Structure 1
Amino acid sequence: MSTLTETPLTAPARPRRARRLTPLFFARHLLRLAVSLAVLVVASFAMIHLIPGDPLRQMLGPTAPKQLVDARRAELGLDDPLPTQFAHYVQHVCAGDLGTSFFSAQPVSDLITQGLPNTLALAVLATLVALLAAIPLGVWAAVRTHKGRGRATEAAFTTLTGAAVAIPEYLYGLALLLVFALGLRLLPPAGMTGPASYVLPVTALSIAPTAMIARMARVETLRELDTDYMRLAQAKRLPAWRLYAVHLLPNTLTATLTLGGLLLGGLITGSVLVENVFAWPGLGQRTVEAITQKDYPVAQAMILVYGALVLVVNFLVDIVLGLLDPKSALSAATHQEG
């Protein structure tokens, strides 16, 4: 009998030398997060002041007396030098005060509190849908195209996923809105009215990430299929579900889940236009309105919140990756230092 078939299959994963994450690893990532947040504060202040036009003229109207405009400008501190305005801005941000809307007179923190949960709900659901759909799709495509098999399947997979990544989310949203809401009248066209209202915006957001993650899952699966431990598992003639679900899948998930976590940050910011397509009561509509109206406090706060969410998500992804795969995390950190 072959030696290969006599060898017991003891572990699904390849052996790895255990390496512990040092406090320096966490300190380095915290420092990087702090520096990035500081740069974000500067950028949020600078970007909004680069928008041409006078927000007070837009707020008070073109026929408002100059004395009224000047008095309002002094009241809001907009006649101070930019360094003074920036110092006041940083002071308020550090105190958790994001200001008051020029137009609605509402505290900006209240606007964010109202819209942020709805935006996060879309982004998280879209990420989960993408992961649940993409991982099986990528594994299936890898198995079908392993060792040069299934040329037609490979061509169709790469073509369709490449096209899916290239199309912007808001175009998916418009197409879904026209077909399923306005045409077939199967789903609500706008607003947040119940579970059914999540279907179209979540679908629009999840199509491109599904394609990206599926491509990553296929590449990782092809790599794992050529490893010794998978050849050993195949030689044991294990059932397909055990071969792929128990022995293959756990070793392909690290890179795939990392990409999913990074895409979550992109979906938070990418939801702006999709939310406007579906009149979703998140931060997207507030952001577009604030920029078009030159509502400085709201626009600055939205830029700050979106940027901070992306940075924090990326930070958490790095930490989770480090905990799941210390060797890869430490190697990446060493490479960056070099």
Structure 2
Amino acid sequence: MATVETTIAGASRRQSLLANEWVRFAVRRLGILVLSMWLLVTFAFGMIHLIPGDPVRAALGFNADPALVAARRAELGLDQGLLTQYWTYLGQLLHGDLGTSLQSRLPVSQVISDRLPNTLALAGITFVVTLLIAVPLGVGMAILTQHGRRRGTELGYTSGAMVLSAIPEFLLAVVLVYLFAVKFQLLPIAGRAGFSSFILPVAAMTLGSAAAISRIVRVEMLSVLGQDFVRTAAAKRLRPHRIYLRHALPNAMTATLTLSGLLLSSLVAATVLVENIFAWPGLGPTMVSSILSKDFPMVRAIVLVYGGLVLLINLVVDIVLAIVDPRSAIRKA
């Protein structure tokens, strides 16, 4: 009876400890997120004031009446001290006010809400396609080349993957546009008009990323396939697909999940250049045109959106890793 009570008490203590670790993990991650958002907001505010030029005069024209320029600066609060502007900006953000575009005179939140879904669609589809290519490719190459077999296949795969992963997305985009849109005229060259318009921009961002991730998957899979529990499963004469998919693959996914989070973060940033090449109606062209026209409220808001998405992705990846491997992820947090 005492043994049973001791076992129950031990299990209760372990559950309580695990619950406390999850609470500490959540508090730490939330604190990091809040601090990171504050730093991002401060950076976005300071970045605008470090860029030379007068945004009001750039919006109204260099020959605008000085009285009109002064009135517009007062309307935007740019005639106040820097610290006062900063606190005003924080207060506006807390109330969900991103300001008004200096060029279009539209609310910044309206412009972002119109264009952000297109950017998220492009990045999200690219992310899914990349994983659908990279994970099976990496697993397949690990199985084919384990124990030092098929050296020629390994060399060709590694060389090709290294070359593809080293080519910038915008250069791949230019090549794809020339081949499939200009020379052969198989796909649309610009804009978003149905499924076919996704093919070239998604391919431009997928090829290098899939090559890089598949190499990581292959290395992790080879490491797992050499461990004792896999050899034990093979000695039990389990079916190969069960060994690879049920026993080996889940243990090889931790590094892949981490890299996938970094990939999605980079894809969000990569859309800026790729969207401009394909005239995609997302935030990328808006950001470039806003920088050129010194539309600082728009630039500042887009920087916050991109930065916030990256922080959110990193938080989701941390949570997923904690669920997959709670002992290491939570204690390292």
TM, length-normalised to structure 2? 0.91
Amino acid at match of 2:153: T
User: SS at the partner of 1:114?
Assistant: helix
Within 2, Cα distance between the matches of 1:136 and 1:316?
A: 23
Contact 2:22–2:330 (CA under 8 A) maintained in structure 1? no
Q: Which residue of 1 aligns with 2:134?
A: 134
Q: Which residue of 2 aligns with 1:308?
A: 308
Deviation track 1:291-332 (CA, whole Å, cap 9, x = no partner) reads 111101100000011001100110111011101210220342
Identity, % of aligned positions: 50
Deviation track 1:143-187 (CA, whole Å, cap 9, x = no partner) reads 233233333333222222222222111111111111111111111
Shift of 1:273: 0.5
Q: How many residues align?
A: 317
5+ residue gaps, structure 2, are 1-13
Within 2, Cα distance between the matches of 1:22 and 1:243?
A: 32
Within 2, Cα distance between the matches of 1:133 and 1:206?
A: 9
Shift of 1:237: 4.0
Aligned structure 1 segments of 4 or more residues deviating by more than 6 angstroms: none
Q: Which residue of 2 aligns with 1:155?
A: 155
Within 2, Cα distance between the matches of 1:208 and 1:110?
A: 34
5+ residue gaps, structure 1, are 1-16, 334-338
RMSD over aligned Cα, in angstroms?
1.7
User: SS at the partner of 1:22?
Assistant: helix
Shift of 1:23: 0.3
Q: Which residue of 2 aligns with 1:107?
A: 107
Within 2, Cα distance between the matches of 1:142 and 1:285?
A: 40
Q: Which residue of 2 aligns with 1:79?
A: 79
User: SS at the partner of 2:53?
Assistant: coil
Within 1, Cα distance between the matches of 2:292 and 2:115?
A: 18
Q: Which residue of 2 aligns with 1:253?
A: 253
Amino acid at match of 1:318: D
Deviation track 1:177-219 (CA, whole Å, cap 9, x = no partner) reads 1111111111111111001111111111112221221111011
Q: Which residue of 1 aligns with 2:285?
A: 285
User: SS at the partner of 1:144?
Assistant: helix
Q: Which residue of 1 aligns with 2:123?
A: 123
Within 1, Cα distance between the matches of 2:85 and 2:146?
A: 60
Is 1:198 the counterpart of 2:181? The answer is no
Amino acid at match of 1:76: L
Contact 2:262–2:314 (CA under 8 A) maintained in structure 1? yes
Amino acid at match of 1:253: M
Within 1, Cα distance between the matches of 2:259 and 2:200?
A: 23
Deviation track 1:56-105 (CA, whole Å, cap 9, x = no partner) reads 22211121122222222122111211111111111101110000000101
* More helix, by proportion: 2
Within 1, Cα distance between the matches of 2:277 and 2:80?
A: 38
Within 2, Cα distance between the matches of 1:153 and 1:82?
A: 61
